[in-house]
Structure 1
Amino acid sequence: MQTSGPVSQFLRHHFRHFNAAALVDAAEAYRAHLDKGGKMMITLAGAMSTAELGLSLAEMIRQDKVHAISCTGANLEEDIFNLIAHDFYERLPNYRDLTPAQEQALLERHMNRVTDTCIPEEEAIRRLERALIDEWMRADRTGEACFPHQFLYRILRSGALEQYYQIDPRDSWVYAAMERDLPIYVPGWEDSTTGNIYAAHCLAGEIGNVHTVRGGIEYMMDLADWYTRTSARHSIGFFQIGGGIAGDFPICVVPMLHQDLHRTNVPVWGYFCQISDSTTSYGSYSGAVPNEKITWGKLAVDTPKFIIESDATIVAPLIFALVLGW
């Protein structure tokens, strides 16, 4: 029997209506899905790593509440940035009041702003770049090709960045994923700082084979294999934070298997929840209501479906607290 700590007790007592009630309902259904032997994929859009979601997500991974992750390249790298440069970050609570001249001053100090948080270029980005270049070039010389997250797993396992750790590695979700060798899918990785860095080194001729880092089509093929194998034994849920490619890419694996590969024995997603601040709008994936996904063959009529219209930086840790019994 899972414990119910003070945070969970507070939420169940006070969160009774509207988005608050949806939060509790979604968390209880998440737990029920796992209790029945189900698995869960979590998708990360936005800047959840810079929001330090690793403080709760890492524990979710360690306690076997998460079984695969789809994320943007930014979320993948920014968790490592935070791990190795946390003390050099600067927080700007008054970010809404910054003038263009003040933004320029941040640029000149090499402080890249993400809402109220500035990522230090030298201590975060360049430290990781140096370790990545070593791995990329080694793989390029030997003719090896790996996915973006696999290169990061290698770096973490090697201890190449350990001297720079500025937070407890237990608060890094990528570190927790590495320890469990969790499947990670990073669609559109080229749209990230490290993706741009990789392109630059290919352009400079330092990496001869642009395919040394494997891309999105191979990620989809790998996801199709994982989903097929896993869904044969377990129902797989889909917990989506934000919208965009991090969510749209993996959820499409089911209609691809059905409609393009003509497989009839692959189940649809067995649970769905989205946290989003996007309003329902014309043609917006982020703002689409869950039932629209039925028409695309992603969800079934009886799939448990939840949408929580709120800020994921507030909502996600609370749902994780309920799932973990905190």
Structure 2
Amino acid sequence: MKSQPIKQFIDHHFRHFNAATLKDAAQSYVKHLESGGKMMIALGGAMSTAELGVSLAEMIRQDKVHAISCTGANLEEDIFNLVAHNYYKRVPHYRELSADDEIALYKSHLNRVTDTCIPEEEAMRRIERAILKEWMEADRKKERFFPHEFIWKVIQSAKLEPYYQIDPKDSWVLAALEKKIFMVVPGWEDSTLGNMYAAHCLLGEIKDPLTVKTGIEYMMALAQYYLETTKNHSLGLFQIGGGISGDFPICVVPMLHQDMKQENVPLWGYFCQISDATTSYGSYSGATPNEKITWGKLSKDTHKFMIESDATIVAPLIFSYVLES
């Protein structure tokens, strides 16, 4: 069979069930952009360790993504991979590992994420040493910055460049810095660097724990961004995985409406979630998009999609479709 562009392949072959929803979501994403809309990506799960930057970075560079909400793990793991890729260990037989096998990985300072092990020294400790200097310097000057701004400071210092082990164009964090896109990192404390930061505060090396700005301040910044952006553009949310990276940004609309009593604030203009959680009772990740109507997040007319599949398969396909459109 003659090879086809991905867009053409999807348009022809993806006709029913989750495949059809993938195609519908991709086509709607394109129409949203063509009509002047903007898009925020919510990045949950272990997408950076899955090297989603290979496709996401190009989406950012080509203005197909205008804002990012991500977990602290996704923020840091993109940079871990940037400087330590050659030291990662893939374990394709991870389903067969015994507890003793896991202990052996632990003793080798290899932290497993499904089939991929992140090396502690070459990735985590290398970034810790670089960012600790930025934390301590800001603390000394009584300056405060967001978690992603500290990452950007480290990158801009060029101190990590000698350690780059992938093509920098495949790092979505570098692309986000290049384009200066808006970012929020809710719940950053629940990350490796967040734990390290807490430790250095407890050790007294950082005097003020608020040297790194908080999630509340991220929500305040997001509210301002949402109001400013939606003056002239519809804003969509493309959510990869569940959890706080998606729940946090989508809540800004009911906050503006119900808590700040703002009038005429547009609801989200597009919504798609890739989830491996089946529709269920009491689950945010498994809730159908229509449930969000009752919370004042989406309207009945918002284009809404739920793709129940593996994001490491679905997201690159949709991104490629959008880039080819």
Q: Give the TM-score range, shorter chain.
A: over 0.9
The AA in structure 1 aligned to 2:193 is T
Instruction: Return the offset for 1:154.
Output: 1.1
Q: Does 1:230 align with 2:235?
A: no
Secondary structure (helix, strand or coil) at the match of 1:8 reads helix
Q: Residue type matched to 2:227 in 1?
A: T
* Aligned-residue offset at 1:183: 1.2
Residues in 1 aligned to 2:64 and 2:123: alpha-carbon distance in whole angstroms: 29
Listed one character per residue, the Cα deviations across residues 136-191 of structure 1 (whole Å, up to 9, x for unaligned) are: 01100101000000011111111110010000110000000000111111111000
Partner of 2:70: 71
- Pairing of 1:192-231 with structure 2 (within 5 A): 192-231=191-230
Task: Say which SS state the counterpart of residue 269 (structure 1) adopts.
Answer: coil
Q: Residue 105 of structure 1 corresponds to which residue in structure 2?
A: 104
Structure 2 letter corresponding to 1:226: Y
Superposed CA deviations along residues 13-51 of structure 1, whole A, max 9, x for unmatched, are: 111111001101100100000001100000011000000
Residue 265 of structure 2 corresponds to residue 266 of structure 1: yes
Please state how far the C-alpha of 1:233 moved relative to its aligned partner. 1.0
Length, aligned pairs only: 322
Cα shift readout 1:177-234 (whole Å, capped 9, x = no counterpart)? 0001111111110000000000000000000000000010000000000001001110
Match of 1:126 in 2: 125
**Could you say which residue in structure 2 is the equivalent of 1:178?**
177
Q: Distance in 1 between matches of 2:188 and 2:231?
A: 29
1:44-72 residue CA offsets vs partner (Å, 9 max, x unmatched): 11000000000000000000000111011
The separation in 1 between residues aligned to 2:174 and 2:186, in whole angstroms, is: 20
Deviation, structure 1 residue 261: 0.2
Which residue of structure 1 lines up, in the alignment, with residue 116 of structure 2? 117
Cα deviation, 1:78-129, whole Å, max 9, x if unaligned, reads: 0000000000000000001000001000000000000000000000001100
**TM-score, with length taken from structure 2:** 0.98
- Specify the alignment match of 2:278 in structure 1: 279
Identity %: 70
Which amino acid is the alignment partner of residue 104 of structure 2? A
Structure 1 CA distance, aligned partners of 2:195 and 2:154?
Answer: 19
Residue 7 of structure 1 and its aligned partner are, at CA, apart by 1.3
State the one-letter code of the partner of 2:51. Answer: E
Q: Which amino acid aligns with 1:23?
A: L
**Counterpart residue number, 2:299:** 300
**1:214 is paired with a residue of what secondary structure?**
coil
Residue matched to 1:92: 91
Q: Secondary structure at the match of 2:117?
A: strand
Corresponding residue for residue 46 of structure 2: 47
2:186 equivalent in structure 1: 187
Aligned-residue offset at 1:282: 1.4
SS at match of 1:166: coil
Matches within 5 A, 1:27-38: 27-38=26-37
d(CA) in 2 for partners of 1:29 and 1:126?
42
Cα distance, 1:264 vs. partner?
Answer: 1.0
Cα distance in structure 2, aligned partners of 1:180 and 1:99 = 44
**Residue matched to 1:158:** 157
CA RMSD of aligned residues (A): 0.8
Q: Which amino acid aligns with 1:43?
A: A
How far apart are the structure 2 equivalents of 1:65 and 1:10?
Answer: 21
CA distance in 1, matches of 2:37, 2:155: 29
* 1:254 equivalenced with 2:253 (yes/no): yes
Q: Which runs of 5+ in 2 are unaligned?
A: none
Equivalent position amino acid for 1:172 in 2: S
Tell me the secondary structure at the aligned position of residue 265 of structure 2: coil
Partner of 2:8: 9
Instruction: Write the distance in 2 (CA, Å) between the matches of 1:281 and 1:117.
Output: 29
Q: Could you tell me which runs of 5 or more consecutive residues in structure 1 were left unpaired when the two chains were aligned.
A: none
TM score, norm. by length of structure 1: 0.98
Q: Which amino acid aligns with 1:146?
A: F
